Structure 1
Amino acid sequence: MGEDTEQGAADEVDLGNEVASDVSEMSSVLGDAYRGELDRETTWRERLDQTTTWAVTVMAAILTWAFSSPDNPHYVILVGVLAVGLFLLIEARRYRDYDVYRSRVRLFQENLLADALDPSRGSEHEDWRSELSGDYRDPTMKITMLEAVANRLRRIYLALVTVLLLAWLFRITAYVGETGVVEAASIGSLPGILVLTVVTAFYGTVLAIVLWPRERKAKGEFRDREVGDWKDAN
């Protein structure tokens, strides 16, 4: 039994060596691998879009109800902020998975397809096959949760929560009547000043996440500096 296992392992090693040494066979394997990674990337991209769609739908429903009658409480808009924040966290988790497959696709594009189209520039990564092999052997997340949240905020969710903030401010000022804005912002027994402080702290945190300078690890993003580098290289 042990000899059979060792023989099977040896055959698998020989098979890998044969594929690696045959250019046509390796090209076929890499082509199939690229199509597979591209399909996975597309699947996760669709999941991201679905999360965004649900966030926009929930936000629209809450805003419609909040402004349908002056008697409706203003804090339902803040509930919408929490709901959109939950969708943001869900989408950030999905984005981390999406980035795993996108990073592999970018390795293929940068080092195989781009090199085939313009061999004069060579590969972007000298050991890209070893890097891809290591990622297949030990798959890992490429970016942190914080970077994923910052990315989705910049792309989509900052605009959504800003719309909700403006709607809430309009809601507590348009129907303020004889009471002050601070009093109008109160929720039950919670004083308005406390509510305003919490809302300010939340949006301050959101802006800090978006604007805080950090090295971005997400691979394959469209960035102005990358466009400039490409022009300089050409």
Structure 2
Amino acid sequence: MCDPEVGAGLLETNMGPSSALAHLYRGEIHRMKFWRERLDRTSNWAITLMAAILTWAFSSRSNPHYIVLLPIVTVSIFLFIEARRYRAYDIWRSRVRMLQQNVFALGLDDSAGVVDEGWRQKLSEDYRLPKVKVSLEEALAHRLRRVYVPLFLVLLAAWVFHLTAYTSGGQWPSSAAIAWVPGGIVLATVVAFYIGILVVAYRPREWNINGEILPSDVTGWDYSHE
């Protein structure tokens, strides 16, 4: 049975500027939602373009294998665009999480106290001089884990399949040649690229992203109270 006192005094004057804080929170939610939608549009365009090129590449055996490599380049461009947008998105999301953790969570249950004693000063400084809080590499790693690593793996599988089933240019890796570029160099370039994105995506790091549910948060959840 729900406690009727839960949430009582959530935005009393001793917690903040009352209704002004509520409007501020709604504004930050709106901004976060807008940038979240921009992220989704970038991912949708990357997937649509990738699917279109792959469909054409496999429509005829006469199509060269390097057509399958073109989506790797275009998807990489979308990845960098999305990482840049993600850094902007994190500005608004970090503010929302700061208010949720230190105002709303405290108003619902004050037994745990605030998460950050200096949250008011930090939020004030962030409004005076907004700063990007996530590095480009961390933003790339997050988007790779969430969206782009699976896309790149699909492209790699498609390229290998095209080389082995569609291309008749000699034995592997000579069949991977592109014009005057030997197949060994093409293969080494592709392998180096994939090693690079996997290192960026999965190397151990301390995440600075505030409010995103990471795999460690999910696997480390304690269900004993349920």
TM-score, normalising length from structure 1? 0.86
Summarize the Cα distance change of 1:229–1:68 in structure 2 as closer, same or farther, 3 Å threshold. closer
Shift of 1:176: 3.8
Bigger CA radius of gyration: 1
Q: SS of the residue aligned with 2:18? A: helix
Aligned position for 1:6: none
Summarize the Cα distance change of 1:46–1:120 in structure 2 as closer, same or farther, 3 Å threshold. same
Aligned position for 1:216: 207
Q: Are 1:147 and 2:135 counterparts?
A: no
Q: Greater CA deviation, 47-56 or 218-227? A: 218-227
Aligned position for 1:191: 182
Summarize the Cα distance change of 1:148–1:39 in structure 2 as closer, same or farther, 3 Å threshold. same
Tell me the matched-pair count: 214
Letter in 1 for 2:139: A
Q: Deviations over 1:158-214 (max 9, x none)?
A: 000110000000000112447212221111111101100100100010111112111
Q: Deviations over 1:81-105 (max 9, x none)?
A: 0000000000000000000100000
Shift of 1:32: 0.8
Shift of 1:231: 4.1
Q: SS of the residue aligned with 1:181? A: coil
Q: Deviations over 1:54-109 (max 9, x none)?
A: 00000000100000000111111111100000000000000000001000000010
Summarize the Cα distance change of 1:120–1:159 in structure 2 as closer, same or farther, 3 Å threshold. same
Task: Decide which structure has greater helix share.
Answer: 1
Aligned position for 1:76: 67
Give the number of the structure with larger relative contact order, counting CA–CA contacts within 8 Å between residues 6 or more apart.
2
Summarize the Cα distance change of 1:214–1:79 in structure 2 as closer, same or farther, 3 Å threshold. same
Q: How does 1:153-168 map to 2 (within 5 A)?
A: 153-168=144-159
Which of the numbers 48, 72, 88 marks the counterpart of 2:39? 48
Aligned position for 1:175: 166
Aligned position for 1:11: none
Letter in 1 for 2:190: V
Aligned position for 1:131: 122
Letter in 2 for 1:83: T
Aligned position for 2:5: none
Summarize the Cα distance change of 1:204–1:178 in structure 2 as closer, same or farther, 3 Å threshold. closer
Q: SS of the residue aligned with 1:119? A: coil
Structure 2: distance between partners of 1:133 and 1:118: 24
Shift of 1:25: 7.7
Summarize the Cα distance change of 1:191–1:152 in structure 2 as closer, same or farther, 3 Å threshold. same
Letter in 2 for 1:34: Y
Summarize the Cα distance change of 1:115–1:135 in structure 2 as closer, same or farther, 3 Å threshold. same
Q: Greater CA deviation, 223-232 or 159-168? A: 223-232
Q: Deviations over 1:6-33 (max 9, x none)?
A: xxxxxxxxxxxxxxxx659811111111
Gapped regions of structure 1 (runs ≥ 5): 1-21
Summarize the Cα distance change of 1:154–1:167 in structure 2 as closer, same or farther, 3 Å threshold. same
Structure 1: distance between partners of 2:133 and 2:62: 48
Q: Are 1:122 and 2:113 counterparts?
A: yes
When the two chains are superposed, the root-mean-square deviation of aligned CA atoms in Å is 2.1
